[in-house]
Amino acid sequence: MTMTDIKTLAAGDTDLDRPIIISGPCSAETPEQTLDTAKRLARAGIKIFRAGIWKPRTKPGGFEGIGVPALQWMQHVKETTGMLTAVEVATRSHVEAALSHNIDILWIGARTTGNPFAMQEIADTIRDMDAPETPVLVKNPMNPDLELWIGALERLYNAGVKRLGAIHRGFSVYGTSLYRNRPQWRIPLELRRRYPDLPIICDPSHMGGKRELIASLSQQALDMGFDGLIIESHCNPDCAWSDKDQQVTPEALSAILDHLAYRDTPVQNENLLMLRQQIDQLDNELLDILSKRMSISREIGKYKKDH
């Protein structure tokens, strides 16, 4: 499996030293919120605009995305700002609607990557629509299963998709953790070792789940030689209809990007970095376990007192 570099997407970017940066709201909510966020991102020099149109929610009853009408807002963003547009797709009808509204880039959400039937359907649709040049970015599955992630990429590759990339958004956690989704950096690093030409983008927003963690996770990813970042931003993050704790304003995003160190080559030997990451992760897990232990012994204390 060889993959074509999607870095050409950023062609026209005067700041070519920088990695690929994709930003925009978790969800397109209203025409005003979408366009306001996009205009402010364009002013900050962002070239690729993301927004969720169909939202895969854990439970029914939450905001499930605007659907097809929001694709017109994305087209409007493209005409007004000149940015490229990216949306998440999970079914044949999503792919058909997105491509017929001239969306430039598709991404596959973590819940979909882990479903081979959905992945095959998406791959077949792109082939049926004769759109092999459309870049497709595949998020890691929820669970730490590298083979499933690669399998999803292979289904697209076998269907003729020429411009593939991976998004590392971390792996789900049961119980409490510093992260919403644990980085487990050794998994994307193993993906890089196996497919050195495949661009890998980090999603510090879904990984951290909190805006305070975006800068440090982004720097760690850049230090490991990731090819870019996808960061959620919103014109008014505290009022976002989904993922409000992890979104930043376009201006805050710009400040984060300005403070990151962009390096030509990964700063640390990969093996050493990988070992350090593993120690960090084990430290976090130890802290989690100790705090769980403490709360159980508190419960035991209370039980003894009551009985």
Task: Return residues touching ligand PEP (CB under 6 A).
Answer: 26, 52, 88, 109-110, 139, 169, 206
Closer of 26 and 138 to Mn ion (Cβ): 26
Segment near Mn ion (CB under 5 A), from 183-191, 240-248, 251-259, 291-299? 240-248
Cβ 51 to ligand PEP shortest distance, Å = 9
Burial of 164 (0-12, 13-18, 19+ CB in 10 A): buried
Closer of 119 and 273 to ligand PEP (Cβ): 119
Which one of Mn ion, ligand PEP, none interacts with residue 109, CB within 5 to 8 A by kind?
A: ligand PEP
243 binds Mn ion, rule: CB under 5 A: yes
Cβ 178 to Mn ion shortest distance, Å = 18
How far, in Å, CA of 239 to CA of 218, rounded? 24
Q: Which single residue brings its beta carbon nearest to ligand PEP?
A: 109
Per DSSP bridges, beta strands 105-108 and 84-88 are parallel
104 binds Mn ion, rule: CB under 5 A: no
Closer of 213 and 274 to Mn ion (Cβ): 213
Among 6, 10, 22, 26, binds Mn ion (CB under 5 A): 26
Closer of 55 and 273 to ligand PEP (Cβ): 55
What's the chain look like in SS3?
A: CCCCCHHHHHCCCCCCCCCEEEEECCECCCHHHHHHHHHHHHHCCCCEEECECCCCCCCCCCCCCCCCHHHHHHHHHHHHHCCEEEEECCCHHHHHHHHHCCCCEEEECHHHHCCHHHHHHHHHHHHHCCCCCCCEEEECCCCCCHHHHHHHHHHHHHCCCCCEEEEECCEECCCCCCCCEECCCHHHHHHHHHCCCCCEEECHHHHHCCHHHHHHHHHHHHHCCCCEEEEEECCCHHHCCCCHHHCECHHHHHHHHHHCCCCCCCCCCHHHHHHHHHHHHHHHHHHHHHHHHHHHHHHHHHHHHHC
Closer of 56 and 266 to Mn ion (Cβ): 56
Closer of 89 and 273 to ligand PEP (Cβ): 89
164 binds Mn ion, rule: CB under 5 A: no
Closer of 126 and 167 to ligand PEP (Cβ): 167
Cβ 109 to ligand PEP shortest distance, Å = 3
Segment near Mn ion (CB under 5 A), from 7-15, 21-29, 103-111, 123-131? 21-29
Which one of Mn ion, ligand PEP, none interacts with residue 139, CB within 5 to 8 A by kind?
A: ligand PEP
Cβ 57 to ligand PEP shortest distance, Å = 9
Can you give the binding site for Mn ion, defined by CB under 5 A? 26, 243
